[in-house]
Amino acid sequence: MLERRRILVPAALGYGANGKGPNIPPNSRLVFDVRPVQLVKEDLVVGTGKEAQPGSRVLVGYEGRLDNGTLFDASSMHPDMKPWFQLKAGTRESPIPGWILGVPGMKVGGKRKLWIPSHLAYGATGAGRLIPPHADLSFTVELLEVE
Q: Is 15 a catalytic residue?
A: no
Q: Is 62 a catalytic residue?
A: yes
Catalytic residue among 67, 85, 131, 139: 139
C-beta of residue 3 within 8 angstroms of C-beta of residue 117 = no
Catalytic residue among 67, 85, 96, 100: 96
State the sign of the Cα–Cα–Cα–Cα dihedral 36, 39, 75, 90.
positive
C-beta of residue 138 within 8 angstroms of C-beta of residue 44 = no
Catalytic residue among 67, 85, 116, 122: 122
C-beta of residue 109 within 8 angstroms of C-beta of residue 49 = yes
Q: Is 139 a catalytic residue?
A: yes
Identify the bridge partners of residue 142 per DSSP, sorted by sequence position.
Answer: 61, 111
Q: Is 32 a catalytic residue?
A: no
The span from the CA of 95 to the CA of 97, in Å, is 6
Query: Catalytic positions, please?
Result: 62, 72-73, 96, 122, 139
